[in-house]
């Protein structure tokens, strides 16, 4: 089941609405890539206004869960926006973090080999540096975002990937089941959104199926587009 699709110049996200015959709760999954065009986040923010719940991700290796967007500098260089800055969750919506607890993530993160820790700590500035030269920006988007999404291999995961995706996935599915037990049984129409990185969507979809949900509607929405070379592009 594809959650994103891309070529060398654009990326789409598949918004799926899930139905369950045992409840009137409807769940929509929104696969994210953490940077995109402002129009995409405007459309997503508007879509969330119909929801009663928004289930979100969020872990931090920093003490106290202090959060600084990892992708804000690279997004600015690329003429895009970072999800942390652009996504607006309506104040009327109940926000629930179903991710791994920050304390558990930090414990696991700081037990990794030093090269992985250093890579994450320096990632924000490294991404900024790589995209600083104007001529390399289009290539960075194509290689770092568009083509990479189509080549992800679970067989080649590093210890860092196993933590960032695999270990977190298990906690996410557990917390999703807990959310359903606490809020899922309703005789009135209610809507929940799951706004998570695309890499977590296979596990989230499996978790929803285990709870009795099936995919209803699908909408493909453009996340970002870069100009075609020769037409004023990078």
Sequence length of the chain is 234
Average pLDDT of every residue of the chain: 85
If one compares 15 and 133, the residue with the highest pLDDT of the two is 15
**Residue 99, pLDDT above cutoff 90:** yes
Instruction: Work out the angle between the directed axes of helices 201-210 and 168-183 (0-180°, nearest 10).
Output: 40
HEC readout, 46-110: HHHHHCCEEEECCCCCCHHHCCCCCCHHHHHHCCCEEHHHHCCCCCCCEEEECCCCHHHHHHHHC
User: What distance lies between CA 172 and its chain's CA centroid?
Assistant: 13
* Pair 224, 80: CB distance under 8 Å: yes
β-pair type (94-97, 10-19) = unpaired
Q: Which position has the higher pLDDT, 70 or 86?
A: 86
Kindly report, residue by residue over 168-198, the tens digit of the pLDDT: 999 999 999 999 999 998 989 999 999 999 9
Q: What residue spans define the domains of the chain?
A: 4-223
Position 119 scores a pLDDT of 84
Sequence-distant (6+) residues with CB within 8 A of 141 are 78, 224, 226, 234
Q: Does 199 score more than 60 pLDDT?
A: yes
State pLDDT tens for residues 75-84. Answer: 888 888 999 8
């Amino acid at each position: 089941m594809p959650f994103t699709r891309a070529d060398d110049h654009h990326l789409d996200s598949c918004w799926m609405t899930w139905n369950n015959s045992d409840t009137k709760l409807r769940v929509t999954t929104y696969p994210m890539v953490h940077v995109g065009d402002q129009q995409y986040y405007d459309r997503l923010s508007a879509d969330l206004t119909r929801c009663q719940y928004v289930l979100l991700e969020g872990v931090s290796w920093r003490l106290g869960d202090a959060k600084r967007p990892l992708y804000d500098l690279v997004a600015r260089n690329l003429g895009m926006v970072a999800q942390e800055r652009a996504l607006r969750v309506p104040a009327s919506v109940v926000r629930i973090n179903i991710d791994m607890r920050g304390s558990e993530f930090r414990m696991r993160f700081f037990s990794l080999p030093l090269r992985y820790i250093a890579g994450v700590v320096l990632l924000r500035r490294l991404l900024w540096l790589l995209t600083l030269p104007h001529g390399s920006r289009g290539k960075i988007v194509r290689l770092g975002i568009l083509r990479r999404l189509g080549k992800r291999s679970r067989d080649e995961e590093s210890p860092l990937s196993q933590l960032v995706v695999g270990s977190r996935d298990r906690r996410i599915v557990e917390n999703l089941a807990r959310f359903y037990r606490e809020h899922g049984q309703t005789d009135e129409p209610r809507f929940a959104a799951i706004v998570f990185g695309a890499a977590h969507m296979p596990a989230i979809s499996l978790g929803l199926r285990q709870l009795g949900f099936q995919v209803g509607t699908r909408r493909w929405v453009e996340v970002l587009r870069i100009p075609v070379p020769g037409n004023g592009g990078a």
